[in-house]
Amino acid sequence: MSKLRVIAILTILILVFSSTISFSQPLSATDATGFTLSLSQPPNRIISLAPGNTEILFALGLNDKIVGVTTYCDEPIEALEKEKIGNVTEIDLEKILTLQPDLILASSLTPEETITRLRELNLPVFTLQSDTIEEVIEDIYKVAVLCGVETSGSNLVKTMKDQLKKIKDLSQTIPDHQKPLVFHIIWHDPIWTAGKNTFINEFITLAGGKNLAEDIQGYSTIDFEEILKRNPSIITVIENHGKNEENQLYQFVTTDNRLQTVNAVKNNQVYLIDSNLVSRPGPRVVSALENFAQIIHPEIFGEYKIQK
């Protein structure tokens, strides 16, 4: 037998052996509930129960593996073409069974009884729940591991970490007295805002601002008197995919007589910001942070332009 023939045979054996052992160890990760899911091979039929999860799957290049999403999954636009299995809190169990998923990505919004029922049916459910940007990044990597695309996950995570570090490094140079008071409004009747332990609070803080509601826990209402007393320099409001003149919340902030003495309103520092971008724990969280950074410190991070 010639030397070249031996080398060729050995090469084939190595390739076969490598492909065999690549999944000899289960693809395993522990989710937000403490449940460890192990898969014998990468999933080919994935269902997402939350918009953020869907964005993660697309960002990892797994769009052709997605067989079902919620009615709220609209990013990227290709997600609209996927089979719908219900909304975030109410799913069509029969439809899910018909789709025969080998991985279901749940979220903190998925009712506990839904997750329990899915597991009773021996369906592989993995729950994502993140309260910080770092936790989102960790969850993205876990999904990549479970789906057998660890390299793609590592690349995406590195990109996000690099972007995050760049913003952090710049914002850390901002002295405390140059950090403006920022007020984020989610709704106006009554006024809802975001306090500590929310993505919004982290965005504002890391972007070099001070959250007016930092002493409030989570998402909560706030009195008009308190807003006037604290007098924010910047106000951000979630947009409903309309221009300023079409946005009900923006119109409320800029025209309500009670707010006309607030610095942010007097100085035209009221900004629309994409509600999906700032509320979904997915690959765009760093972009959300960048938007806040541009709003709060355009002299450092550049001019803010809302995505239409």
Q: What is the pLDDT of residues 258-280, one digit of tens each?
A: 999 999 999 999 999 999 999 99
Q: Which residues, at least 6 apart from 249, have a Cβ–Cβ distance to it below 8 Å?
A: 185, 187, 188, 237, 238, 239, 240
Interacting residues of 92 by C-beta distance below 8 A, sequence separation 6+: 85, 86
CATH superfamily of 26-163: Nitrogenase molybdenum iron protein domain (3.40.50.1980)
pLDDT for 16:
42
| Range 273-297 average pLDDT | 96
Q: Tens digit of pLDDT for each residue in 150-208?
A: 999 999 999 999 999 999 999 999 999 999 999 999 999 899 999 999 999 999 999 99
Q: Are 23 and 35 in contact (CB under 8 A)?
A: no
Is the pLDDT score of 257 beyond 80? yes
Give the distance between the most distant pair of CA atoms in the chain.
92
| Right CATH for 174-301 from 3.40.50.2000, 3.40.630.10, 3.40.50.460, 3.40.50.1980 | 3.40.50.1980
Domain with CATH 3.40.50.1980 in the chain: 26-163, 174-301
Q: What is the pTM of this model?
A: 0.88
